[in-house]
């Protein structure tokens, strides 16, 4: 097994607990950056004087996005105090009235946007506590303890799926002329328990003359810790720093960054397994005085996380750092420096004012650590910082940290994979400079800024695509399309110092983008000054594919880029919008491709730990890991089974099977017991609360019989279990699984296929369709790809049916007619369609599908300039633009890139030997494009033993093949028209 040396030292080498004596330290001082806070609770006491009726609180005031028409797509540009949301208590009308002002051109300050009725009993005396809870565009309004209702004030939509308005921004109060009222105890609190207080104004009286006050509540900054310590003037043999954080951290020692990691300690289910890193700092340590500086930021611990309303401060609301430096002198003596409140100091006055993975980073370069106020660090405990409410399905309560473990990280941390330089810039509006990085990617910018004035504010925004010139987007053409980033702000702000040359490189956020917009500069920075650091846990590729078809080559590159952008600490669905979650269904289909593309054994081993950490007590596997939660059902949950299996088969790693076997087995028991209907044997998961996700985003999903897709995957899972049990020597289990597999296959064939025609017949899972023929691509793919139909004659018929559905035009559920050779499949069946065809002698069809360029196909996005794999095959079309899909429309989602494994295993034919996991012995079975459209292909796969090369070329009427087999390996060669033969190391030509 290949093992990348990614950590600078082995965390296991040292004592079991390298943190003995170290304490979690930080500060209880908070930071509030109101322009970037989309979820909060605002409350105030309202006393209305006798004879008066009304008073209001204000929030979301002076949002900079609404004060500059270049920063919104709503076309608004407000002056000071012209934009806010107002929530008014009106005793006379017995209502709470919401007004929205300056958010859209149509807003009228005096016109009630929406009213909620208030019962008489709540208005008995003149005073009331008005509470407004804001979650991504939604206001939930209460009077006292009574919830009056919800009002969606978001001009673009009503949840985290849309750009979030309001942010907290400026808050205040308003009393109309002629009214007398007192608004006091205005408070802003965290949305999630323990609902920490973020802001408070004691009392203010409004006079009869009328008053409107908006105040900016922001304060503080991200914590920076400091420790000066002395090292003896003796020779140092080794110095190792062990560190981790609640939040993310970056350590510098004597002014130099320690290690090359970004976003450490990465995301894990922190209340179960919290990873620490280990760095060799022998060369950085000085004899005599040394200094650590440690920056902390929210990362995944605090702040915004995932798309759901209320998902904030998922693990806790305060950051902390834990570290221990172990120094070994040459004379055998040792010294250690640990985090403890007594010797460390902390400040919140540093240049990083606020940093959030979703929202962006705000840096004020005028603030300097040299001028900061340093205070003693505090010991940080979890009590009081972790919610005690049950929230979502797995957000941990304080008591759920009881069994947490601090464990050494053994997979690669995110690091800079490569650096991009902007390729072009256009001034799309006066002073609005949009840079094209030439590539959609995940990471951060690194910008050199010259000749700024002290205090000058430079704003950076990030997008995957620009608005095209279509009537629907009129007025915004060429500007960044940010709707699909949804509730994430994805905006950095840099406030310049007086230095002539300054560098902005925000290490505490992450963006998914190709286009970078810079505003607030007097002139556009030069292209060379605009770099992008591509950050990924992938630190090298182990596979390469190229062919005579340049569009397919770009597709291959796009698959690699989407893997880079989505393998960042965990395997995510997408790296840009307010989601970035470890969605299991996506990984399950992509994992075979991933194991070819890079050595991801350690990365996926860590991920299977996260899956197990959030596996439910009844054995149910999560749809998302870490964090957990499940509504998807078997296709998503199966990642707990397929991911260990793909690593086992690709790398020969039985350890990952052993680690996961029990969890896998429990899951299979659960399915058999709960989700298979006893009477019919049908997989009825959707009816039984297991979840109903099917062939996600398939254009013909409305027609599909989901039960068959679930059942086919269940059969795949059974086959995996049988292989896993065999590999682990669990012979009884292997026999039992093998029996179940045979039974289930038989049941599947009996139930779903008409024997005479091989047509798919619906099961009756959808009561409207029993017995109905469902003759679409997705019906046939999985049974063929998973070898479910053993009867040769029937299989031939089914193959012909699949081919027939490819050869005819197909209509999408929304009525779009697609030409022959269109890909009418979703996330799940797209991953397997090429295999289903090739396994059954129809690689001609697989190559036709592969090289089709009209929508829907793999190459349509490529023809539209895609540089990554899109979430939808029609994320953008020239006819329909973004198709109204921007509330779920990522341009960097690897799922449809699962065809990568077919390019390796069938087009190049570098395939695993089912009898021998790992690549010591493998199968070579390249298939030249029978249609002749692709005339050559070549590539390689790096195994632990060396590089396997494979290529074919059509020349004249025949195909020439060339292979290299590394030393110590052998392969079984299968070429058309030739008897099978064994090849040993060396170069082979045929």
Q: For residues 696 and 765, which CB has a smaller minimum distance to ligand BGC in the complex?
A: 696
Tell which positions 892-921 bind ligand BGC, by CB under 6 A.
893
Sole residue written with tokens 């909620």: 116
Which C-beta is closer to ligand BGC: that of 308 or that of 316?
308
158 vs 384 by CB, closer to ligand BGC = 158
CB-wise, 827 or 961, nearer to ligand BGC?
A: 827
Q: With b meaning 16 or more CB within 10 Å and e meaning fewer, what string describes 252-286?
A: ebeeeebbebbbbbbbbbbbbbbbbbbbbbeebbe
Choose the binding region for ligand BGC from 11-19, 36-44, 571-579, 610-618 (rule: CB under 6 A): 571-579
Shorter beta-carbon distance to ligand BGC: residue 728 or 888: 888
Q: Check: CB of residue 785 under 8 Å from CB of residue 835.
A: yes
- Nearest approach in angstroms of CB 165 to ligand BGC is 21
Q: Tell me whether residue 214 or residue 574 sits nearer to ligand BGC (CB atom).
A: 574
Please identify, using beta-carbon distances, which residue of 590 and 941 lies nearer to ligand BGC: 590
Active-site residue among 304, 839, 871, 927?
871
- Residue listed under structure tokens 């182990």: 542
Distance, in Å, from the CA atom of 851 to the CA atom of 844, rounded to the nearest integer, reads: 11
Per-residue contact track with ligand BGC, 586 to 625, x per CB under 6 A? Answer: x---------------------------------------
Nearest to ligand BGC of 344, 696 (CB atom): 696
- C-alpha–C-alpha distance, residues 196 and 122, integer Å: 27
**Cα(868)–Cα(218) distance, rounded to whole angstroms?**
38
Candidates 4-12, 429-437, 455-463, 583-591 — which segment interacts with ligand BGC by CB under 6 A?
Answer: 583-591
Q: Residue 13: which residues within 8 A CB-CB, separation 6 or more?
A: none
User: For residue 842, what are the CA distances in angstroms to 463, 705, 800, 858, 939?
Assistant: 40, 25, 10, 18, 22
| Least gap, CB of 158 to ligand BGC (angstroms) | 17
Span of 435-443, 578-586, 640-648, 674-682 interacting with ligand BGC by CB under 6 A: 578-586
Point out which residues pair with 58 in neighbouring strands. Answer: 86, 172
**Among residues 190, 483, 579, 927, which one is catalytic?**
579
Distance (Å, whole) CA 380 – CA 386: 12
Choose the binding region for ligand BGC from 103-111, 257-265, 572-580, 938-946 (rule: CB under 6 A). Answer: 572-580
871 is a catalytic site residue: yes
Consecutive H or E run containing 922: strand 921-924
Find all residues with CB under 8 Å of 833, minimum gap 6, and list them: 777, 781, 785, 823, 825, 846, 849
As a residue count, the chain comes to 990
Cβ proximity to ligand BGC: between 572 and 905 the closer is: 572
**Of 574 and 785, which CB lies nearer to ligand BGC in the complex structure?**
574
Q: Can you tell me the distance from the alpha carbon of 158 to that of 154, in angstroms, rounded to the nearest whole number?
A: 6
Q: Quote the crossing angle between the two packed helices 639-651 and 584-597, to the nearest 10°.
A: 10
Question: Pick from 391, 556, 561, 583: which binds ligand BGC (CB under 6 A)?
Answer: 583
Residue with tokens 């995944």: 300
Q: Which residues contact 478 (CB under 8 A, 6 or more apart)?
A: 426, 428, 434, 466, 467, 469
Nearest distance from C-beta of residue 483 to ligand BGC, angstroms: 15
With CB under 6 A as the rule, give the number of residues binding ligand BGC: 11
User: Judged by CB under 6 A, which stretch of 493-501, 577-585, 594-602, 929-937 contacts ligand BGC?
Assistant: 577-585
Which member of 298, 579, 911, 929 binds ligand BGC (CB under 6 A)? Answer: 579
CA atoms of 463 and 437, how far apart (whole Å)? 11
Residue with smaller CB distance to ligand BGC, 293 or 782: 782
For residues 215 and 266, the answer to whether their CB atoms sit within 8 Å is no
- Closest to ligand BGC by CB, 413 vs 890, is 890
* Token pair for 661: 């076997």
- The answer to whether the beta carbons of residues 516 and 435 sit under 8 Å apart is yes
462 sits in which H/E element: strand 457-463
Is residue 265 within 8 Å of residue 244, measured between CB atoms? Answer: yes
Rounded Cα gap, residues 959 and 955, in angstroms:
6
User: What is the smallest separation between the CB atom of 328 and ligand BGC, expressed in angstroms?
Assistant: 47
Q: With both helix axes pointing from N to C terminus, report the angle between 777-785 and 827-838 in degrees, rounded to the nearest 10.
A: 60
**What string marks each residue from 627 to 666 as x (binds ligand BGC by CB under 6 A) or -?**
-----x----------------------------------
Q: Residue 229's closest CA among 295, 287, 296?
A: 287
State the minimum distance, in angstroms, from the CB of residue 487 to ligand BGC: 12
Q: How far is CA 393 from the centre of its chain?
A: 18
Place of tokens 């569009």: 551
Q: How far is the CB of 573 from ligand BGC (least distance, A)?
A: 4
Q: Give the footprint of ligand BGC on residues 874-893 (CB under 6 A).
A: 888, 893
Find the shortest distance in angstroms from Cβ 870 to ligand BGC.
11
Whether residue 29 is preceded by a cis peptide bond, meaning omega within 30 degrees of 0, is no
Q: What is the 3-state secondary structure (H, E, C) of 723-751?
A: HHHHHCCCHHHHHHHHHHHHHHHHHHHHH
Give min distance, CB of 312 to ligand BGC, in A: 18
Stretch that binds ligand BGC, among 112-120, 537-545, 581-589, 719-727 (CB under 6 A): 581-589
Are 199 and 193 spatial neighbours (Cβ–Cβ below 8 Å)? no
Q: Using CB under 6 A, which of 585, 640, 699, 826 touches ligand BGC?
A: 585
Task: Report yes or no: 167 and 35 within 8 Å, Cβ to Cβ.
Answer: yes
The enclosing H or E element of 512 equals strand 511-519
Residue 464 forms beta bridges with which residues? Answer: none
Residue 692: CB minimum distance to ligand BGC, A: 10
464 lies in the binding site for ligand BGC (CB under 6 A): no
Q: Which is nearer to ligand BGC, 696 or 752 (CB)?
A: 696
Query: Does 573 contact ligand BGC by CB under 6 A?
Result: yes
Report if residue 695 touches ligand BGC, rule: CB under 6 A.
no
579 an active-site residue? yes
In angstroms, the CA 638 to CA 620 distance is 10
Helices 654-670, 706-727: axis angle to 10 degrees equals 140
Sign of CA dihedral 821, 823, 824, 825: positive
Footprint on this chain of ligand BGC (rule: CB under 6 A): 573-574, 579, 583, 585-586, 632, 693, 696, 888, 893
Supply the residues annotated as catalytic. Answer: 579, 871
């Amino acid at each position: 097994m290949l093992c990348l040396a990614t950590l600078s030292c082995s965390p296991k080498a040292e004592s079991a607990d390298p943190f003995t004596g170290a304490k979690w330290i930080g500060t209880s001082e908070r930071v509030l950056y109101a322009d970037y806070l989309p979820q909060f609770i605002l409350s105030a006491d309202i006393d209305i004087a006798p004879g008066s009726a009304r008073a209001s609180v204000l929030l979301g005031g002076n949002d900079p996005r609404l004060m500059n028409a270049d920063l919104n797509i709503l076309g608004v540009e407000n002056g000071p105090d012209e934009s806010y949301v107002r929530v008014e208590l009106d005793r006379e009308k017995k209502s709470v009235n919401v007004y929205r002002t300056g958010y859209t051109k149509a807003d009228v300050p005096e016109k009630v946007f929406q009213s909620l009725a208030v019962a008489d009993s709540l208005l008995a005396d003149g005073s009331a506590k008005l509470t407004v809870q804001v979650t991504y565009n939604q206001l939930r309004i209460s009077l006292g303890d009574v919830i009056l209702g919800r009002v969606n004030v978001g001009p673009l939509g009503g949840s985290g799926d849309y750009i979030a308005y309001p942010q907290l921004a400026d808050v205040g109060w308003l009393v109309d002329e002629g009214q007398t009222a007192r608004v006091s105890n205005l408070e802003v609190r965290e949305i999630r328990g323990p609902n920490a207080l973020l802001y408070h104004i004691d009392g203010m009286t409004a006079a009869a003359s009328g008053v409107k006050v908006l105040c900016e509540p922001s304060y503080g900054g991200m914590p920076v810790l400091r420790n000066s310590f002395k090292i003896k003037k003796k020779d140092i043999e080794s110095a190792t720093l062990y560190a981790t954080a609640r939040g993310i951290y970056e350590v510098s020692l004597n002014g130099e960054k320690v290690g090359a990691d970004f976003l450490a300690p990465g995301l894990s289910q922190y209340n179960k397994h919290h990873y620490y890193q280990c760095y060799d700092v022998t060369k950085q340590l000085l004899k005599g005085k040394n200094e650590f500086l440690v920056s902390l930021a929210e990362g995944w611990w605090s702040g915004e996380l995932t798309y759901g309303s209320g998902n904030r401060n998922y693990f806790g609301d305060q950051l902390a750092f834990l570290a221990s430096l172990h120094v070994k002198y040459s004379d055998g003596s040792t010294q250690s420096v640990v985090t403890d409140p007594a010797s460390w100091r902390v400040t919140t006055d540093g240049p990083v004012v606020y940093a959030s993975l979703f929202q962006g980073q705000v840096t004020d370069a005028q603030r300097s650590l040299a001028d900061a106020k340093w205070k003693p660090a505090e010991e940080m405990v979890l009590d009081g910082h972790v919610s005690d409410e049950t929230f979502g399905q797995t957000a941990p309560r304080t008591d759920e940290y009881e069994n947490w473990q601090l464990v050494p990280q053994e997979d690669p941390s995110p690091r800079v994979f490569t650096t991009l330089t902007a390729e072009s810039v256009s001034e799309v509006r006066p002073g609005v400079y949009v840079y094209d990085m030439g590539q959609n990617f995940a990471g951060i910018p690194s910008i050199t800024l010259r000749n700024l004035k002290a205090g000058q504010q430079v704003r950076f925004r990030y997008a995957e695509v620009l608005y095209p010139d279509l009537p629907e987007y009129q007025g915004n053409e060429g500007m960044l399309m940010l709707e699909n980033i949804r509730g994430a702000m994805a905006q950095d702000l840099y406030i310049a110092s007086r230095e002539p040359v300054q560098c902005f490189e925000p290490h505490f956020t992450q963006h998914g983008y190709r286009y970078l917009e810079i505003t607030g500069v007097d002139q556009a920075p030069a292209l060379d000054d605009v770099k992008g650091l591509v950050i990924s846990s992938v630190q090298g590729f182990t596979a390469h594919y190229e062919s005579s078809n340049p569009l397919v080559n770009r597709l291959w590159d796009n698959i690699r880029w989407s893997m880079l952008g989505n393998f960042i600490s965990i395997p995510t669905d997408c790296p840009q919008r307010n989601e970035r979650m470890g969605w299991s269904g996506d990984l399950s289909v992509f994992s075979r491709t991933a194991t070819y593309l890079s050595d991801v054994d350690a990365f996926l081993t860590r991920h299977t730990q996260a899956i197990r950490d959030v596996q439910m007590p009844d054995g149910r596997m999560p749809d998302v890991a870490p964090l957990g939660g499940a509504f998807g059902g078997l296709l998503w949950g199966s990642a707990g089974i397929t991911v260990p299996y793909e690593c086992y088969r690709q790398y020969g790693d039985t350890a990952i099977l052993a680690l996961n076997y029990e969890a896998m087995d429990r899951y299979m028991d659960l399915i058999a017991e709960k989700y298979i209907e006893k009477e019919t044997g049908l997989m009825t998961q959707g009816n039984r609360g297991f979840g109903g996700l099917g062939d996600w985003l398939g254009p013909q999903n409305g027609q599909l019989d989901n039960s068959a897709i679930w059942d086919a995957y269940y059969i795949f899972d059974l086959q995996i279990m049988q292989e896993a049990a065999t590999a682990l020597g669990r012979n009884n289990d292997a026999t039992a699984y093998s029996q179940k597999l045979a039974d289930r296959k038989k049941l599947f064939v009996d139930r779903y296929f008409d024997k005479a025609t091989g047509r798919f017949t619906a099961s009756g899972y959808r009561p409207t369709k029993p017995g109905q023929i469902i003759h679409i691509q997705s019906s046939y793919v999985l049974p063929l790809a998973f070898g479910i139909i053993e009867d040769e004659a029937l299989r031939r018929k089914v193959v012909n049916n699949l081919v027939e559905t490819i050869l005819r035009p197909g209509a999408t559920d929304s009525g779009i007619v697609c030409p022959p050779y269109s890909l009418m499949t979703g996330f799940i069946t797209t991953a397997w369609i090429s295999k289903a065809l090739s396994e059954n002698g129809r690689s001609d069809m697989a190559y036709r599908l592969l090289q089709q360029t009209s929508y829907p196909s793999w190459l349509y996005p490529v023809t539209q300039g895609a540089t990554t794999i899109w979430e939808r095959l029609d994320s953008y079309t020239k006819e329909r633009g973004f198709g109204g899909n921007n509330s779920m429309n990522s341009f960097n989602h690897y799922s449809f890139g699962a065809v990568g494994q077919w390019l390796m295993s069938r087009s190049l034919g570098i395939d695993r030997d089912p009898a021998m996991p790992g690549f010591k012995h493998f199968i070579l079975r390249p298939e030249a494009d029978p249609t002749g459209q692709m005339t050559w292909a070549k590539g390689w796969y790096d195994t632990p033993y060396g590089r396997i090369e494979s290529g074919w070329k059509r020349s004249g009427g025949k195909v020439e093949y060339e292979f290299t087999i590394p030393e110590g390996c052998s392969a079984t060669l299968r070429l058309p028209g030739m008897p099978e033969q064994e090849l040993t190391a060396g170069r082979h030509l045929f």
